[in-house]
């Protein structure tokens, strides 16, 4: 538990996460919030009722739990959803803010892993022969507070680590998102490979698709280490198949999908793609949608392909569930003959300028 709340009795999450709850109570009191909407990603949802109860005990404010899925700081309820819940403040757990995404009345609370990191780092260095290498160190919001410690451990083990700073979509040094690898790209020319500290394949897979350099994963939670090259090659084969299928279906008619989520909303990109498709004699409709599912998209199944301008991972990670090829914007360029396969790039959402959002402008 964090030093400021050492007086309370241990809660179920304390063993795994530091949730900085004292800061939440303080912010709720400072704002004089009467009702607070709490949003959790799946991994923290079990703790939601306990946190809601504590919030009311500590601040007197009522708590309402959001039952919607929450995938990232890109995915906050709109001002009208906040209003519908009668809430003065949204508290989203598990993510760091995206400085380039406009949000109102919102507080982000990171879930900082308490897990020791040395065993996984030492195992990766030993088993994957990293001594003497220069690595680009990357991680997620859950482990970013351990960056200095990780660099020191790597140094001790004979590995030089570089840390990059991302663009305005990224709040923390060394942090990567599933849609943004600018912190890694900042140090790419100086390193032999990347070293990812964290759990799961989601983040390191995106990085492996973004860079020609290999990506090592050291997972403190499960104590496992691995290289991402095998999975990257498998996903690239799937992407190639999706592009070829779109061409075989005609490669002319497209549904351009635009998300209503504040941090995934890229209407201008969709409009630009529509003009390019039409200039080549094709047809394109823009479809605005909150959550992409095969059912929600079934009315557009006669299209040659769907083009996803929202979270890039909807196309790559959910590959098997789409009955129509789901492409990223650079993959559409390949269908249109504007980009060669040798120049395949991952679709990043940049944070170099504020995203335009009709919900918050
Ligand atoms: S757009 Fe996708 S990858 Fe990026 S933060 Fe949101 S959910 Fe994660």
- Domains present along the chain, CATH in parentheses: 3-113 (3.40.50.11840), 118-227 (3.40.50.11850), 232-343 (3.40.50.11860)
**What is the CA(258)–ligand 1 centre distance, in A?**
14
Atom of ligand 1 nearest to the CA of 202: 3
Residue from 311, 351, 355 to probe ligand 1 pocket by mutation (most atoms less than 8 Å from CB): 311
In contact, 128 and 216? CB cutoff 8 Å: yes
**What is the CA(96)–ligand 1 centre distance, in A?**
12
Of the candidates 234, 202, 200, 228, which has an alpha carbon nearest to the alpha carbon of residue 215?
228
Chain CA centroid to CA 288, Å: 20
Distances (CA, A) of 257 to 33, 248, 279: 36, 21, 19
In this structure, the residue with its CA closest to atom 2 of ligand 1 is 311
**What is the CA(60)–ligand 1 centre distance, in A?**
33
**What is the CA(207)–ligand 1 centre distance, in A?**
13
Q: Return the beta strands (E) in the chain as ranges.
A: 17-18, 35-39, 62-65, 89-93, 106-109, 112-113, 134-139, 160-162, 193-197, 215-219, 224-227, 253-259, 283-289, 305-308, 326-327
Atom of ligand 1 nearest to the CA of 95: 5
Would the CB of 72 count as within 6 Å of ligand 1?
yes
Atom of ligand 1 nearest to the CA of 312: 2
In contact, 169 and 182? CB cutoff 8 Å: yes
Spatial neighbors of 261 by CB under 8 A, at least 6 apart, are 74, 75, 76, 290, 310, 311
Would the CB of 311 count as within 6 Å of ligand 1?
yes
- Give the pLDDT confidence score for residue 353 in this predicted structure: 58
- Give the pLDDT confidence score for residue 201 in this predicted structure: 95
Of the candidates 136, 171, 154, 347, which has an alpha carbon nearest to the alpha carbon of residue 242?
347
- Give the pLDDT confidence score for residue 103 in this predicted structure: 87
Q: How far apart are CA 176 and CA 172, in angstroms?
A: 9
Atom of ligand 1 nearest to the CA of 74: 6
Atom of ligand 1 nearest to the CA of 71: 7
**What is the CA(247)–ligand 1 centre distance, in A?**
28
In this structure, the residue with its CA closest to atom 3 of ligand 1 is 178
In this structure, the residue with its CA closest to atom 1 of ligand 1 is 311
Would the CB of 313 count as within 6 Å of ligand 1?
yes
Residue from 179, 180, 308 to probe ligand 1 pocket by mutation (most atoms less than 8 Å from CB): 179
In contact, 226 and 205? CB cutoff 8 Å: no
In tens digits, what is the pLDDT along the chain, a chain of 361 residues? 444 455 668 899 999 999 999 999 999 999 999 999 999 999 999 999 999 999 999 999 999 999 988 999 999 887 778 888 899 999 999 999 999 998 889 999 999 999 999 999 999 999 999 999 999 999 999 999 999 999 999 999 999 999 999 999 999 999 999 999 999 999 999 999 999 999 999 999 999 999 999 999 999 999 999 999 999 999 999 999 999 999 999 999 999 999 999 899 999 999 999 999 999 999 999 999 988 999 999 999 999 999 999 999 999 888 999 999 999 999 999 999 999 999 999 999 998 755 444 433 3
């Amino acid at each position: 538990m964090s030093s400021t709340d050492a007086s309370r009795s241990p809660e179920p999450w304390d063993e795994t996460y530091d949730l900085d709850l004292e800061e939440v109570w303080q912010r709720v009191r400072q704002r004089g919030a009467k009702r607070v909407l709490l949003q959790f990603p799946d991994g923290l949802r079990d703790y939601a009722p306990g946190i809601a109860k504590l919030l009311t005990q500590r601040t007197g404010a009522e708590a309402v739990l959001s039952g919607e899925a929450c995938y990232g700081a890109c995915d906050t309820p709109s001002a009208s959803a906040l209003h519908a819940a009668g809430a003065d403040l949204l508290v989203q757990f598990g993510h760091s803010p995206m400085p380039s995404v406009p949000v109102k009345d919102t507080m982000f609370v990171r879930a900082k892993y308490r897990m020791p990191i040395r065993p996984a780092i030492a195992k990766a260095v030993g088993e994957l022969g990293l001594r003497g290498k220069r690595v680009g160190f990357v991680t997620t919001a859950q482990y970013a507070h351990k960056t200095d410690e990780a660099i020191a451990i790597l140094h001790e083990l004979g590995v030089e680590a570089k840390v990059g700073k991302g663009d305005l979509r990224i709040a923390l040094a060394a942090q990567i998102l599933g849609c943004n690898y600018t912190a890694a790209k900042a140090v790419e020319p100086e390193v032999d490979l990347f070293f990812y500290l964290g759990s799961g394949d989601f983040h390191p897979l995106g990085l492996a698709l973004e860079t020609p350099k290999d990506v090592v994963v050291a997972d403190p939670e499960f104590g496992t280490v691995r290289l991402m090259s095998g999975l990257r090659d498998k996903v690239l084969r799937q992407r190639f198949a999706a592009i070829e299928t779109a061409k075989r279906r005609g490669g002319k008619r497209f549904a351009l999908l635009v998300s209503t989520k504040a941090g995934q909303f890229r209407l201008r990109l969709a409009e630009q793609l529509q003009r390019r498709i039409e200039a080549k004699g094709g047809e394109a409709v823009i479809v605005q949608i909150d959550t992409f599912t095969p059912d929600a998209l079934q009315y557009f199944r006669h299209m040659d392909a769907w083009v996803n301008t929202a979270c890039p991972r909807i196309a790559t990670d959910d590959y098997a569930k789409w009955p129509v090829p789901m492409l990223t914007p650079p993959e559409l360029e390949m269908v249109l003959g504007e980009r060669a396969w040798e120049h395949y790039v991952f679709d990043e959402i940049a944070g170099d300028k504020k995203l335009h959002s009709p919900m918050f402008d």
